[in-house]
Amino acid sequence: MQPRPAAVRLLVPGNILHNSGGNVYNASLVRGLAQLGVSATVERVDGNWPVGSSEDRRRFARLLGEGSAAPDEGQAAGGTVTIVDGLIASGAPEALEAAAAAGQPPWILLHMVLLDHPQLEIRALSAAAGVICTSGSVAAEITRRHGTRNVHVALPGTDMGEPAEGSDPPHLVSIAALLPNKDQLIVLGALSLLQDLQWTAALVGSDEADPGYARDVRAALQESGLEARVRLAGELKGQELENEWHAADLSLLVSKVEAFGMAVTESLARGVPVVVRAGTGAVEALNLGAQHGTTPEGDESPLPGAVVVLDSDPAPLAEALRSWLTSPERQAAWRRAALAGREQLPGWDATARCVLDVIGAATPQAGHS
C-alpha cells in the first residue's frame, strides 16, 4: 500500500462563486477525502483568477508557503500535501517555481486548459509535483500542447439520485450557468424551431456569472415567443434542483468547450438521457454511462442520449430534438440506456481514492521535460 498524507490542503479561486463543475468537484473531493480519514481543507484564494494582479499573486505565494511539507515529509511521514486548482496555478507560475525551489512543489488539480496563456501554464505545470486532471480530454490536451509528464486522471464522481419521473409533455433541462461558452442561445434557437411540438424546458443556472450574456438570453427568449414554455430558473440547489431533475425527460449540455461536463453524469445518475456537443469532453462523460457491446437482440447498445455536431446553426440540434420528441421508441431506448448507465457511474469515493493513490506515490518529479 502506498503511504498517504495525513492532511490535504486544496487552494481554490475565490472569485468563482457560481455552482460551477470545478467548485462541485473541489467540494466533493474534500468530502470524499475526509470520509477516507484524511484531514482535508479548502482555502479560498482571493484574486481575479485565472491571471490575478501582482498583489493577487503575492497573496497566493504567501498562502502556498503556509502549511506545506516537503515531498518526502508530506508523503512518507504523513504530513500535509498541497493541491492547487489550475485556475490559480496556471496564472501564477512564479509562486509554484518558488515553492519548487524550496523543495515544496504543490500538485495542480487541472479542470481545464488555460487557452489564452500557454506560456504561463507550461511554467506552472513544469514546477508542479504533478498534475491531476479531472478528465481524460484535459490530460490528452495538456500532454499534446506541452509534453507534460506525471499527468494523472481522477474522473469526477457522481452522487446517485432517484430515477426521474419525467413529465407530460416532455420536459427538457439545461443545467449550466448562463455563459457564452455554455451556449444557451443555441438551445433557444433550436427550441424556436420546434414550436409545432409539445414540450416544456428550463434553463437552470446562475444569471450572475456573466450579466451581459444573461441579458442576451432573456432578450432571445422574449423575441422567440417561448416565454410560456421555457423557464429561466436561475441557480437551483438542494431540493429545488432535485425537483427539476425529477421532472426532466432529457437534458442538454451543448457547451462550445467542455473539459468533462459533470451535468452529464448528474443527469445519467437520475436516468435522464443527455444530448451533448461533439468534440467536447461532454462526450467522455456520456460514454462513461454507455453500455458497450450488443443487446440480446444483436443490436448495438444505444448511447444514453446523442452526440450532435454543432457550429453556430441551431438546426442540427433542433433536428436531433425533433427526432426524439416524435419517436416514442427512441425516447424509451434512450431512457433504458440512461437507467442502465447510472449503475456504471463511479462515486466520489473512487475519485478521492484515485487522488490519494496519486499523491501518496513515490516522491514526485517536475511535470515537464
Which residue type is seen at 65? Answer: G
Would you call the peptide bond into 304 cis, given omega within 30 degrees of 0 as the criterion?
no
- 278-290 pLDDT, tens digit each: 999 999 999 988 8
Asked, for residue 368, whether it belongs to a domain, the answer is no
Give residue 117's pLDDT: 86
Question: Same structural domain for residues 70 and 136?
Answer: yes
d(CA 315, CA 208): 29
pLDDT tens readout for residues 260-310: 999 999 999 999 999 999 999 999 999 988 865 444 444 455 799 999 999
Sheet holding 130-133, edge to edge: 39-45, 7-13, 80-85, 107-110, 130-133, 151-153
Residues 198 and 100 reside in one and the same domain: no
Alpha-carbon distance 131 to 141, whole Å? 13
Helix axes of 184-192 and 315-325: crossing angle, nearest 10 degrees: 60
| Residue 336 within a domain | yes
Do 126 and 205 share a structural domain? no
The C-alpha cell that represents 308 in the structure block: 450532435
Residue at 253 is within a domain: yes
Positive/negative CA dihedral, 253, 325, 270, 174: positive
> Which residues, in sequence order, are bridge partners of residue 7?
39, 80
Provide the mean pLDDT of the chain.
89
Quick one: 260 exposed, middle or buried, by C-beta within 10 A (0-12, 13-18, 19+)? buried
Q: Could you tell me if 130 and 249 lie in one domain?
A: no
Q: Does 90 share its domain with 114?
A: yes
Residues 228 and 132 reside in one and the same domain? no
Residue 236's domain comprises 171-344
13 located within any domain: yes
Q: What is the pLDDT of residue 3?
A: 61
Asked if 121 and 238 sit in the same domain, the reply is no
How many structural domains are present in the chain? 2
Looking at the chain, the number of H-run helices and the number of E-run strands are 15, 12
Residues 319 and 352 in one domain: no
CA angle, 228 then 229 then 231, to 5°: 90
Cβ atoms of 142 and 110 within 8 Å: the answer is yes
Q: Phi and psi at residue 290, in whole multiples of 5°?
A: -90, 145
Same domain, 217 and 310: yes
Q: Is residue 55 part of a domain?
A: yes
Q: Are residues 238 and 176 in the same domain?
A: yes
- With bands split at pLDDT 50, 70 and 90, how would you rate the model's confidence at 1? very low
Q: List beta partners, residue 368.
A: 148
Report pTM.
0.83
148 falls in which pLDDT band (50, 70, 90)? Answer: confident
List, for residues 64-93, the tens digit of each pLDDT value. Answer: 887 544 444 444 445 789 999 999 998 899
Assigned domain for 369 exists: no
Same domain for 201 and 180: yes
